[in-house]
Each structure stands twice: as C-alpha cells, then as structure tokens.
Amino acid sequence: MTKKGLFICIVSVFTFTNAKSNVTDKWPDIPLLTVTTENGDFPTCDIVYPPEGCVGTGITANEYVAGRLVMTLGTDTLYDSGEYVKDESGVRMKIRGNSTGASEGQKPYKLKLSKKFDMLFRGDEDYKEKDWNMLKISTWNPGFANSESNILNVLGFALSKYVGLEWTPGYTFVNLVMNGKYMGMYYLTDAIERGDKRVDIKKSGYLIENDAYWWNEDLYFKTGHQNSVMGWTYKYPDAEDVDDAITGNIQTYINDFEDALYSGADIDEYIDLASFAKWILVHDILNSDDAAGTNMYMYKHDYDESNPYSTKLMMGPLWDFDSSFKTDAYDSWSSMHRLDYFYYPQLFNNGKFVAEYKNQWESIKPTLAETVANALDSVAQAYGGALEESMNLHKTVYPTECANSLQSQIDEINDKIGKRIACLDSMIENLQTSGISQTTEFTLPRSIVAVYDVYGRQCSTGIDNLSKGVYVVRYDDGSSQKILKK
C-alpha cells in the first residue's frame, strides 16, 4: 500500500532554540555525547495530524543531519565516529518518535552510525550495530509527584528481563551537547530491529507493529479483526525489501490466527502463549494506560512457505512505559488488557491463555517487589551522584523537568509496586481459566449488574437505551459477556 497522500495536515517546523552553551566545565560522571553537525544544522521536523478515522499526532520531514559524534567519560574518549563520510565514518541524526517527537521541549533522536559499534560497551562483537535511540529523560505522568518520572524505562526494562522475554533493550544515561549547545540528559538505548543481539530472527522472519501511526508510514497492511484505527507496519524487513508475496504470507498467517482466536478454536499452533502472557503481565503490573499508543510488536523467527507453522508468533519486545501508574486505581486492569486495540480482551476469553497468564504470575509474584527494588537500587549505586548532577544540569535548559530526586522516585515506584501486587494478585486469582463466553447477538441469561463500553467506562445497568456498538455485560453470578447492540 502507498502513503496516505494529501489528506494529512502538516504544520509548523520545529527548531531547537532554548539550549545554553558552555553549561559546565566539569561534566557529571556519565557518558557525554558531543555531536557536531555539518553546517551547524540541528535536526528538525514537521507536525502531522491523522486523517479522519485515525488517531495520534506524529511527525514528518524529519530528515537526517550528518556530522561527527564523540563519546567521552571524564578525560577519556570512549568513541569517536570521525567526520561524516557516507558508509565510512561519522553519524547521522534525526528526530524520532510520534507524539514525543511532536511535543514541545526536549526532542528524542535516532542515531545512525556509518560503521557498526556497540555504544553500550558490552564486550561482544555481536552487539555492534548502526542504529541507536536517544529517549527523553523526562516522562510526563500525572500519577507521579510533580506529574513526572525519570526512571520508568528503568522499571519497564527490569520487568521485561524478570518475566523472561527473549530480548530487552540495553541502555545507559548520557548527556548530550550538539553544536556547542547542551541538549539535556537522555537514555541511550538499543533500537528495536533485527540483529544477533537484538530481535534475533532469521532473514526469512519478520518483526511488525500493531501501529496507531500506520497512516504516517509508506507501507502497511490490515487484518480482518484489527481495530479500524490500527494498522500493521514493518520493523523488519525494511519497506524497500517487502513485496506483495511477503505481505501476503504475513497477512494470511495473522488472519488465520485471528479467525481461530475469535471463533474459539485452538490458537496454540499460531502464537507462543508464554510470550503473549509475559508481555501483558508486565503492562498489568505497571497498570499501563495507553492502549493505542503503546508499542505492540510481534515477530516470527522464520517464515517457511512450505511450513508456515514451523515457528509461532512471539510477542515483544516491550517498549514505551510512559503511561505506567498513570492513575491511582490499583484495582483496574491495564488498558491493553481491557480495550480492543489489540488481541488481549479476546485472549482473556481463552482458557489456555488465562491458565498460562496465571502460571506466569505465580512464578514471578514471590520475588517481584524485591526484584524491582533491587533493579532501581542498582541504578542508584551504579551511577551514584552523577544522575542527580545530570538532572540538575538538565533543569538549566528544561526548568520544569527533573523536579524529583532520584531516591524519591525510587521510593515512589516501590510504594506503587507494593500496592499494585496486592490488588493484582486478587484480580488474577478471580480470572476464569474456562474463558468468558462471547456472542454476537444479545441474550439475557442472568441479571445484569453493569455494562461497559469498549473503553472500559460504565455506561448503564441495562441494555434498552444503549446506542449501537460493542459492550461488555457483567452479571450477578460474576460472569461476563461481550455483546453487539444493533
């Protein structure tokens, strides 16, 4: 499919103007990235709004700017890309993200090195890659003190490793200076892509995203049971390497899985139940509240046309933790669990999936709080006062950010995790492993106690005055039923 064309509204160009130069003569003891671009140009982008019937605010015209990148720690030079020469040396840099790229203030960036290098220094040649992400340090979130957290990525990645997903991005904290101007503190992370030490799939495999921003991509496809505001986009293969046969194979496989899922048939041959359970379990622990915006990736290690079922669809990797604990409603499911932007509301109607989900919970529950506490403490110990010093520097260009001390953030998250574990344990215990019935026509076998719309909002205690649409009905015997009101 081709790009959406003329119906997308593009508005003002972003430029960076509020950075200071020469902020300090002595940098904190975390890596400093110094980028000097050709002609002193800063990366820019345009805001783009979705066409009717779609969601999200994104960016376009975010072209790469070429230059040189030097990474130092104190007086030591850790890495020098050299001046930019195509395919030989240097770096290219552009603004990344959707809503984060479009928002005011600090911009996230994508780095593309001309030669592969491991910017996290893990001591293995296989970690060397060209693509890297720089994520904003500050996450706006009304569920936290001063409506902000700086360590939600630390928390999310720690949980990803703890539940045992196949791959979790690595990261470090860095300060960034571009063209002599201090740009703030960032997470420097692995990019989500195919690689021996990233998403380790064969060249015949694929990595795709259930993407609310499909309308802003050159290539996408749809499947039969996908929410109308979502589309599938490619992380691998690259768009220029995808032909109709590749899309047809992937689309057919996913459609077959969807048909089995929504008809109540066996889904084991299509998906890896454990990875799907682990992915949603992390979001349920975090009580994430960003259904359409949360990055929902699936991958297949291999696609063999002679035997499409030789490998199953895997869920992951986990990414995007900005909406964690956005509310203090500790006794509610995460938005991905209860809303139909992805498969999870239907998966929780499947007895085998619910059993797998409960098993995964029981395996991690005993040491969950301790694991989170240790992961957060290890960051404080590893970086010491350098994080606090860097947050203070960050405030010189973004005065409203990094308002909370590192220790206060750690204490706040540990408190939230403790409260969440208690509520979630009770909720999971009451899940039905036999599945919840689902029909397309309304029937009234029991007494209704509540009716919810697809956004989880209670809208009625009856059905007579409901408008057309899909609803979840809860009955006095504790069971639930999805209905279609015509």
User: Exposed, middle or buried by CB within 10 Å (0-12, 13-18, 19+), for 273?
Assistant: buried
Asked if residue 412 belongs to a domain, the reply is no
Task: Estimate the crossing angle of helix 406-429 against helix 368-383, to 10 degrees.
Answer: 160
Please state the domain count of the chain.
Answer: 1
Asked if residue 373 belongs to a domain, the reply is no
User: Is it true that the peptide bond before 31 is cis, omega within 30 degrees of 0?
Assistant: no
Instruction: Check residue 438 and give its pLDDT.
Output: 37
Asked if residue 477 belongs to a domain, the reply is yes
Instruction: Check residue 451 and give its pLDDT.
Output: 77
Instruction: Check residue 474 and give its pLDDT.
Output: 67
Instruction: Check residue 441 and give its pLDDT.
Output: 35
φ/ψ region of 379 (left if φ > 0, alpha if ψ in -120 to 50, else beta) reads alpha
Could you tell me if 132 and 110 are in contact, meaning their C-beta atoms sit under 8 angstroms apart?
A: yes
Instruction: Check residue 453 and give its pLDDT.
Output: 65
Asked if residue 317 belongs to a domain, the reply is no
Picking from 211, 210, 362, the residue whose alpha carbon sits closest to that of residue 277 is 362
Domain that includes residue 460, residue range = 448-485
Spatial distance between the Cα atoms of 341 and 292, rounded to a whole number of angstroms: 6
Residue 168 identity (one-letter amino acid): T
Could you tell me if 354 and 169 are in contact, meaning their C-beta atoms sit under 8 angstroms apart?
A: no
Spatial distance between the Cα atoms of 427 and 274, rounded to a whole number of angstroms: 19
Asked if residue 372 belongs to a domain, the reply is no
Q: For strands 9-14 and 20-21, give the pairing.
A: unpaired
Q: What is the pTM of this model?
A: 0.86
Picking from 116, 168, 137, the residue whose alpha carbon sits closest to that of residue 383 is 137
Residues 6+ apart with CB under 8 A from 60: 8, 10, 45, 46, 48, 216
Picking from 204, 214, 215, 292, the residue whose alpha carbon sits closest to that of residue 250 is 204
> Cβ atoms within 10 A of the Cβ of 271, count?
22
Distance from chain centroid for Cα 10: 25
Residues 6+ apart with CB under 8 A from 251: 221, 223, 232
Q: What is the 3-state secondary structure (H, E, C) of the chain?
A: CCCCHHHCEEEEEECCCCCEECCCCCCCCCCEEEEEEHHHCCCCEEEEECCCCCCCCEEECCCCEEEEEEEEECCEEEEECCCCECCCECEEEEECCCHHHHCCCCCCEEEEEEEEECCCCCCCHHHCEEEEEEEECCEECCCCHHHEECCHHHHHHHHHHHHCCCCCCCEEEEEEEECCEEEEEEEEEECCCECCCCECCCCCCEEEEEECCHHHCCCCECCCCCCCCCEEEEEECCHHHCCHHHHHHHHHHHHHHHHHHHHCCCCCCCECHHHHHHHHHHHHHHCCCCCCCCCEEEEECCCCCCCHHHCCEEECCCCCCCCCCCCCCCCCCCHHHHCCCCCHHHHCCCHHHHHHHHHHHHHHHHHHHHHHHHHHHHHHHHHCHHHHHHHHHHCCCCCCCCCCCHHHHHHHHHHHHHHHHHHHHHHHHCCCCCCCCECCCCCCCCCEEEEECCCCCEEECCCCCCCCEEEEEEECCCCEEEEEEC
User: Is it true that the peptide bond before 237 is cis, omega within 30 degrees of 0?
Assistant: yes
Instruction: Check residue 481 and give its pLDDT.
Output: 64
Asked if residue 469 belongs to a domain, the reply is yes
Could you tell me if 362 and 368 are in contact, meaning their C-beta atoms sit under 8 angstroms apart?
A: no
Could you tell me if 95 and 62 are in contact, meaning their C-beta atoms sit under 8 angstroms apart?
A: yes
Residue 346 identity (one-letter amino acid): Q
Low-confidence ranges of the chain (pLDDT < 70): 1-23, 433-446, 452-457, 460-462, 468-472, 474-486
Q: For strands 65-73 and 76-80, give the pairing.
A: antiparallel
Asked if residue 154 belongs to a domain, the reply is no
Picking from 259, 375, 271, the residue whose alpha carbon sits closest to that of residue 314 is 271
Instruction: Check residue 23 and give its pLDDT.
Output: 63
Asked if residue 423 belongs to a domain, the reply is no
